[in-house]
Amino acid sequence: MAPRKALNGTVLVHGDAVANNIGPEVAPSISVSTTFRAPNPAIEPPSPLSELDIRNPKRHIYSRYTQQKGYALTYASGLAASYAALVFYQPKRIAITEGYHGCYATIEVYKKTKGADLQIIGIDDEYQPGDLCWLETPLNPTGEASWKVRDIQYYADKVHKVGGKLLIDSTFAPPPLQYPFKFGADCVMHSGTKYFGGHSDLLCGILVVKALEEWKALHHDRTFLGSMMGSLEAWLLLRSLRTLHLRVPRQSATATTLAQWLNLIASTPKGQTYEGVPGGVVARVWHSSLQGKDSRGFDPSTQLEGGWNPTFAILLDNAEYATHFPHLLKYFVPATSLGGIESLAEHRLQSDSGADPRIIRLSIGVEEVEDLKEDLRQALQKVTELKAKL
Ligand SMILES: *Cc1c(COP(=O)(O)O)cnc(C)c1O
């Protein structure tokens, strides 16, 4: 397993106490006001909007302007962030292969503004100047062949050679698992709905860029696209970020233990059992810890420096097992999405009509690993009995 890198928990816990904003509250207080009193010029000389430090504002004016600091910007959702990235880069062509189906739909909407001018190519096609490579890694499971960690540096070098840009959808590996800028990415996108939010109760998208100038341009666009987060969601996000460094490494470690254990079940021949589970029930496990080096020598552990992805997929023996399996679990909730503190088991076909009907996606939460293992074990046993009854 890759060595764990600690996120700076102190910064996460105290980072929102912006110096000029500290009050007696320990937790951030919430303000849902969309507008703010103008300062009295008799007391404070007026400062024009153009001189306001938008990243660290001393005062608020209107909540569509001032909500963030850093080179990261938050959006109303992951897809709102995706749309903002398209508007920002204005790519001539987009190189994209597989990945979250919603991003394709966002690209289709964006295409309406560009007509036939915007071409879609595959990430392994030849690139040209003006291309944007849209790389999701680790890759959301959409089909049997696609579940993997992709080599960011390889695609960065390839697209930079022609002067194009690389965007990484890093939703499946938030900090401290993966830092795509280290491998040449130009922009990092997250669906903050997943691990940053972490409690299945807010929608959020995040774009991170390297230069202040880019951030300012994105901020301008966001103001006039109107795609910022709501105040309540931003407040929930601040609460969530305080425990990101505790949640994500734990979810990653538990997922790795479970994936390795499930892989032992998958390697058990039919007719034998492994820890009470009959061989043949689990046909395959996809997890970055099982990926190994590729033909170019790329080792996924170099990229996932803080641990393996906490969401992964298993292939059951047949579609019938997969249909019933999520509903036989006690702690795993049968639901789509990922990244929350509660574990989820999803029959992938329900939300992605192109998926293999035998795939179950598991999003691992922060429960005790032994309880989750026991839950999976009993459901894997029950599913075979169910089959006998059918
Ligand atoms: C969920 C998800 C998105 C979209 O994010 P929303 O917050 O649901 O809009 C984009 N990419 C990936 C990989 C996702 O899992």
Residue type, position 298, single letter: F
Token code pair at residue 368: 């005790």
Q: Which residue's alpha carbon is at the smallest distance from atom 1 of ligand 1? A: 191
Per-residue pLDDT of 118-167, as tens digits, reads 999 999 999 999 999 999 999 986 555 568 899 999 999 999 999 999 99
Closest residue by Cα to residue 342 from 262, 247, 227, 257: 247
- CA dihedral defined by 94, 100, 104, 107, rounded to 10 degrees? -60
Quick one: 353 and 235 in the same domain?
Answer: no
Quick one: 16 and 153 in the same domain?
Answer: yes
> Is 45 domain-assigned?
no
Quick one: 337 and 366 in the same domain?
Answer: yes
Q: Is 11 helix (H, G, I), strand (E, B) or coil?
A: helix
Q: What is the pLDDT of residue 359?
A: 94
pTM of this structure: 0.91
* Spacing, Cα 17 to ligand 1 middle (Å): 29
Q: How many CA atoms lie within 13 A of 338 on its CB side?
A: 28
What's the whole-number mean pLDDT along residues 193-197?
A: 97
Quick one: 213 and 340 in the same domain?
Answer: no
Which of 190, 221, 241 is a domain's end point? 241
For ligand 1, what atom is nearest to the CA of residue 80? 9
Q: Which residue's alpha carbon is at the smallest distance from atom 6 of ligand 1? A: 78
Report the alpha-carbon distance of residue 136 to residue 74 in Å, rounded: 19
* Spacing, Cα 90 to ligand 1 middle (Å): 21
> Is 18 domain-assigned?
yes
Q: Is the pLDDT of residue 43 over 50?
A: yes
Per-residue pLDDT of 239-255, as tens digits, reads 999 999 999 999 999 99
For ligand 1, what atom is nearest to the CA of residue 136? 13
* Spacing, Cα 171 to ligand 1 middle (Å): 7
Q: Residue 274's domain is classified under what CATH number?
A: 3.90.1150.10
Q: Which residue's alpha carbon is at the smallest distance from atom 7 of ligand 1? A: 78
Cis check: omega of the bond before 91, within 30 degrees of 0: no
Those residues whose C-beta lies under 8 Å from the C-beta of residue 44, and which sit 6 or more positions away, are none
Quick one: 235 and 328 in the same domain?
Answer: no
Token code pair at residue 11: 């910064």
Per-residue pLDDT of 356-387, as tens digits, reads 999 999 999 999 999 999 999 999 999 998 85
For ligand 1, what atom is nearest to the CA of residue 103? 10
Quote the number of domains for the chain. Answer: 2
Token code pair at residue 381: 């046993």
Report the alpha-carbon distance of residue 209 to residue 185 in Å, rounded: 9
Quick one: 177 and 314 in the same domain?
Answer: no
* Spacing, Cα 321 to ligand 1 middle (Å): 27
Q: Which residue's alpha carbon is at the smallest distance from atom 8 of ligand 1? A: 78
> Is 59 domain-assigned?
no
Look up residue 71 and give its DSSP letter.
Answer: S
Q: Which H or E run includes 283?
A: strand 282-286
Which of 241, 266, 281 is a domain's end point? 241
* Spacing, Cα 53 to ligand 1 middle (Å): 30
Q: Which H or E run includes 388?
A: helix 369-389
Report the alpha-carbon distance of residue 233 to residue 300 in Å, rounded: 33
> Is 156 domain-assigned?
yes
Q: Is the pLDDT of residue 66 over 60?
A: no
Token code pair at residue 294: 């590729």
Quick one: 178 and 300 in the same domain?
Answer: no
Domain that holds residue 92: 9-30+67-241
Going by pLDDT thresholds of 50, 70 and 90, the confidence category of residue 55 is confident
For ligand 1, what atom is nearest to the CA of residue 337? 1
Q: Is 277 helix (H, G, I), strand (E, B) or coil?
A: strand
* Spacing, Cα 374 to ligand 1 middle (Å): 30
Substitution candidate for ligand 1 out of 194, 236, 337, 344 with most atoms within 8 A of CB: 194
Name which residue leads in pLDDT, 386 or 328: 328
* Spacing, Cα 278 to ligand 1 middle (Å): 35
Quick one: 105 and 194 in the same domain?
Answer: yes
Quick one: 343 and 232 in the same domain?
Answer: no
Pocket of ligand 1, beta carbon within 6 A: 77-79, 100, 102-103, 136, 140, 169, 171, 191, 193-194, 203, 205
> Is 47 domain-assigned?
no
Quick one: 176 and 208 in the same domain?
Answer: yes
Cis check: omega of the bond before 46, within 30 degrees of 0: no
Quick one: 196 and 209 in the same domain?
Answer: yes
> Is 143 domain-assigned?
yes
* Spacing, Cα 100 to ligand 1 middle (Å): 7
> Is 112 domain-assigned?
yes
7-11, 45-49, 96-100, 168-172, range with greatest mean pLDDT: 168-172
CB 340 within 8 Å of CB 174 = no
Q: Residue 233's domain is classified under what CATH number?
A: 3.40.640.10
Q: What is the pLDDT of residue 44?
A: 82
Substitution candidate for ligand 1 out of 171, 228, 352, 361 with most atoms within 8 A of CB: 171
> Is 187 domain-assigned?
yes
Quick one: 220 and 253 in the same domain?
Answer: no
* Spacing, Cα 266 to ligand 1 middle (Å): 29
Report the alpha-carbon distance of residue 150 to residue 135 in Å, rounded: 8
For ligand 1, what atom is nearest to the CA of residue 81? 9
What's the whole-number mean pLDDT along residues 316-339?
A: 96
How much of the chain, in percent, has pLDDT values that exceed 70?
A: 89
Q: Say how many residues make up the chain.
A: 390
Which of 200, 225, 241 is a domain's end point? 241
Query: Tokens 């507008």 appear where?
Result: 35
